[in-house]
Structure 1
Amino acid sequence: MPPGGHDLKFECACGMHLTAPPQALGHKARCPRCRQVLTLDRPLPSAPPLDGRVKVRCACGAALAAPASAIGRKVQCPRCGEKMLITPQHAPRPGPAPLLSAADHDLLGHLGGHDPTAPPAAASSASNAVQGDDDMLLHLAPAEPVLVPPAAAEAAGEPILCPSCEQSLPHGAKICVQCGIDLKTGRSLLARDDDHIDRTYVYAENILSSFSWLAWFGFFPIGSEAFGTRTPWMIRGTAAPHGARTSPRRSARRVRTARHPKPDSPR
């Protein structure tokens, strides 16, 4: 840090010379011209100090005084609030300088736009920031990190149409949720379950076809027995295991009774 606590000068890439207090060394600031964020770590070599003070007279008639290092910076008149630029023409010339009256004000407190006669403001979260004008002074906020704008998002592509249900899907979609189609291969994700169901149908059809002979050899003999035209060999063969439990005489008696029923007795 340079001795005496003088302000440091920095140069932006756009060529603008910036000024900041010594406590801003190492912090980041934004250039008021190109809005580029730069790190205040390489101050320019300081010029040899000028003897004396710069004396400026405002348009309102107030006589102001500032250090010689204020040349090239804007100051604010504490009386009327008008801002003026201190040029090398205001530098002291050889010869006796006129004395300033007690009504004259020192510009040391007004380089940042503050009135030394004003009451101190309440401390805030941005009390460490250095306030200044819009031209040369920097607005520093050491406590706040520098925010880098995020990269621009990629442009959205064209929507995708599902080959099955023709539903419009967002760009980059992999699967159609509506019908379960893989958009890359065009196949259904439920293909294995469909094969399982198809095999079940085929298996059930084969089982039913094996019993289809009952329609020709089972139901017709039942009708023949009812009309007494044919002997139901298929029905007898099917019922033979159940009739084997009874005796042959009972079976023959039941057959004769079924063929020749007894006449009803007279009342």
Structure 2
Amino acid sequence: MVKQFISNLWLDYSVRLCPSSSNIHHIVGDYGSITTDHFALRTLNLPQINVQSISLLLQNIGYKSKASYIFRKKKLYAEHFEHIDKKLPKIFLSQLNLQDCSKSLQKFCLDKFTKMSFDHTNIDFLFSGKTWDISINDYEKFLKESEYAAWFLAHGFGANHFTISVNALNKIKSLSELNEILIQNKIIMNKNGGLIKGSEALGLEQSSTLADHVQVQFSDGFFYIPGGFYEFSQRYKSIDSGRIFNGFIEASADKIFESTNRL
């Protein structure tokens, strides 16, 4: 069940949100086995779809919450989950704290989502996309307040990004080396906060592409906006425990979120 869920989530992401992922696979596949370190999901802190609610679904397929993270400037809360089968990817699940947002954004979300029902016995709703209407004008308005909110309201449920583990690439020694290869292949990278976020000393280095621009249907037409992106991570052993660090660095994740910013 869990492998089928991840496979379906990937299919939605690679077709609808990040079509360039196939090109990334073509490039990176020459350097070793492509293994997913983690993938990320976005949501809102409304009772029926918040982190707490979705975590129950994830628990049903063997995932357990391991740590929480706060991004005050972006008004976000997140948790990361690990599966009992350590070969399966981690999940980074975040939510927008609507109580910290404008009354206009709160009202829009409450009007849309309190009337909707979600089948919490079926995890497939996590790649169901957008089942509500939003105009391009509302998208642009909310984009000025919160890129995260605008992204979720335009795309709905689906993987915001997948992440390739550099540790599994036996022909590449470092994330820096992989970044050079990607840039040589004309892949546009997110340089906010530096090309590489984090460090070996922190136990985690990350980089990412800038999001694909994909066509989205709004209530008043089709428009191109930022969709999904691809991330790359290299993990290191913790000095204290001697084990590979499996968590995330808030300062780094804060800049990874910006991979979906408009150019």
TM-score normalised to structure 2 length: 0.19
The structure with the larger Rg is: 1
Higher strand share: 2
Higher helix share: 2
Higher relative contact order (CA 8 A, sep 6+): 2
